[in-house]
Amino acid sequence: MVNVACDLAGFIVEMLPEGQKLFPLGDKASDRVGAFGFSHARKIPANPAKSRYYLRCVCYLMPEFPRQVLDSLRQPLESGEAVVARANAHVTFPARFQLVAAMNPCRCGHAGDAARACPRVPRCIGDYQAKLSGPMLDRIDIHIEVPPVAHADLALPPPAEGSLEVAARVAAARAAQDARFTEIVGPQSMLLNAHVEGELLDRIATPDDAGKRLLVEAAERMGLTARGYHRVLRVARTLADLDGADGVTRIHIAEALAYRETIAGRLGAAA
Ligand SMILES: [Zn+2]
């Protein structure tokens, strides 16, 4: 087991031996234009192939960085590689990480809250949300809006399925992916649904006929990019794995599409 650190001062993501602490965030982070590069105090490792930087970890992010800095995540999110360019070196690092991001609806956080209305709507929303560009949003597979919790809801009983049960389903879905890609690609592949493309994606995630029809109709209606279309397929394949289903069906496509509705709405509003 390793700890994972996201040093957002340079977007350096490192795996640390167990017991070490996470890096604190650099307070100059928002000034750093050379994002996704190494902090100036650090040298580029001599052999990036042996580097474990960025690899297989979770990067947690909030939109409090300049848009240019946030957009520098686009390439590694797409390709799984980060290119670090310096005067004396141009090096490609593995950067297969999972991005988890959270943001308020507006800078003050009260937009959409009937009890504490934001006094600067709509500008407060527009200024804040514009930090995330359309292409950046398009690379985030699952968007979920979380409304404020009403006091009455706090008294409700806990959900029937708890964290332990969900964790077991996730572990089973990961095991299903391991078995799938070990069979197709080989035991060293370390692939997940999120990584596959082209023929391999077609092979594992082509939905049933009803699912195909729904996806084509929704792609048209929502204005999905080619990237978005393939991302829906990958998410749907994972939803099928969480269900323990062999094939991707209409219900998996419908749920994967629902996670992109917010992006479609936002991109439509921005256009
Ligand atoms: Zn506001």
The reported pLDDT for the residue numbered 52 is: 42
Select the more confidently predicted residue: 139 or 15: 139
Distance CA 225, CA 220 (A): 9
217: CA distance to ligand 1 center in Å?
35
Q: What's the pLDDT score for residue 180?
A: 94
**Residue 240 pLDDT more than 80?**
yes
- Summarised one tens digit per residue, pLDDT across range 32-48 is 334 444 333 344 444 44
pLDDT in tens, 241-267: 999 999 999 999 999 999 998 766 665
- What is the pLDDT at residue 242? 95
The CA 268 to ligand 1 mean position distance, Å, reads 21
Q: Which residues make beta-bridge pairs with 92?
A: 83
Measure 96 CA to ligand 1 centroid, in angstroms. Answer: 34
Predicted confidence at residue 28, as pLDDT, reads 40
Bigger pLDDT: 88 vs 31:
88
Cite the beta strand spans of 80-154 per DSSP E.
81-86, 89-94, 97-101
Average pLDDT over residues 64-74: 76
Model-level pTM greater than 0.85? no
Strand extents, DSSP E, the chain: 3-7, 12-16, 57-61, 81-86, 89-94, 97-101
Cα–Cα nearest to 72, from 86, 84, 87, 62: 84
The confidence score (pLDDT) of residue 206 equals 96
- Is a pLDDT exceeding 70 seen at residue 101? yes
Contact by Cβ (8 Å): 255, 242: no
Cα 147 to ligand 1 centroid, rounded to whole Å: 15
> Residue 73 Cα, ligand 1 centroid: separation in angstroms?
26
Read off the pLDDT of residues 172-197 as tens digits, 9 standing for 90 and up: 999 999 999 999 998 877 789 998 99
Q: How far is the CA of 127 from the centre of ligand 1 (A)?
A: 9
Nearby residues of 48 by Cβ (< 8 Å), 6 or more positions away: 91, 92, 93, 94
Query: What is the predicted pLDDT for the residue at 57?
Result: 54
In the reported structure, the alpha carbon of residue 135 is separated from the centroid of ligand 1 by a whole-number distance in angstroms of 24
**Is the pLDDT higher at 57 or at 218?**
218
Q: Say how far apart CA 7 and CA 14 lie, in whole Å.
A: 8
Q: How far is the CA of 130 from the centre of ligand 1 (A)?
A: 13
CA of residue 28 to ligand 1 center, whole Å: 25
Pairing relationship of beta strands 3-7 and 81-86 according to DSSP bridges: unpaired
Q: Are 145 and 79 in contact (CB under 8 A)?
A: no
Task: Tell me, in angstroms, the distance from the centre of ligand 1 to residue 29's CA.
Answer: 24
Distance 108 CA to ligand 1 centre (A): 4
